[in-house]
Amino acid sequence: MKLLLINPNTTQAMTDAIAVAARAVATPGTEIVAVQPSFGPVSIESHYDEAFAAAGVAEQVRLAAAWRPDAVVIACFGDPGLEAAREATEAPVLGIAEAAFHAAGMLATGFSVVTTLTRTCIMAERLLQRYGADQHCRGVHGTDIPVLDLEGCGVETLQQIEEAARDALARDRSGAIVLGCAGMAPLCATLSHRLGVPVIDGVAVAVKFAEALVGLGLRTSKHGDYAPPLPKPFVGWASGLRW
């Protein structure tokens, strides 16, 4: 099985770290091909950033058509470009937020999300509503840690995330924590051990869900709105990405 793992930002070090986390849980025989867009922001921390990241995801799925991945994972908690990616391939496409929310709902009656910047909390709340997970999520909490500060996460950053998670568990009366950034993936095991509750990393969960869907022979539906994009000219820098 070949799995296309897309980091929608353009920071190579983060792409590499996410790939390590994905390979750590992948079944032997699953090849993780980690990529990032050829353009766009170095981190995704606003609606503006996300607009370019979504286009970058579409670019990478389009380019991967040459080798036909068996599944695709979008490794950003905003799930940018998810719907476009599902149009562009028959392979299952999973966003790490959607995967994490589903997993958390199976493990606890209520969960809390701990993410990076407080300004992005509303983005996570909208995703929860979109995926129908808002009935299970009891709170979304920002730490105001910039995404790129998660590279080589130090003791202070880990402690800040742990304190936010403990506060969320107590305040929200939650039974699980969802980590709201792919860059937090390497912290999952440590936090779960310290907190004594399930801590869900969407990267790991999405990889395992993708393997399960492929193993079951399930593909993205091409009936209705996930049908391939309509052929038409594209102009400018995107001309090579037309359908």
168, 197 Cβ separation under 8 angstroms = no
Pick the closest to residue 21 from 10, 7, 8, 9 (CA basis).
7
Measured from the Cβ of residue 127, the count of other Cβ atoms closer than 10 Å reads 23
pTM listed for this prediction: 0.96
- pLDDT value at 152 more than 80: no
74, 44 Cβ separation under 8 angstroms = no
Q: pLDDT tens digits for 170-192? A: 999 999 999 999 999 999 999 99
Measured from the Cβ of residue 68, the count of other Cβ atoms closer than 10 Å reads 11
**Average pLDDT, integer, range 203-222:** 98
Average pLDDT, the chain: 96
List, in order of start, the domains of the chain with CATH numbers: 2-95+205-241 (3.40.50.12500), 97-202 (3.40.50.12500)
Measured CA distances, 33 to 36, 153, 209, 238 (Å): 10, 24, 17, 23
Angle at 71 between CA 125 and CA 135, to 5 degrees: 25
Q: pLDDT tens digits for 113-126? A: 999 999 999 999 99
- pLDDT value at 234 more than 90: yes
- pLDDT value at 151 more than 90: no
Tell me the HSE value of 145 on the side-chain side, using a 13 A CA sphere. Answer: 26
Task: Specify the pLDDT at position 74.
Answer: 98
CB burial class (10 A; 0-12, 13-18, 19+) of residue 168? Answer: buried
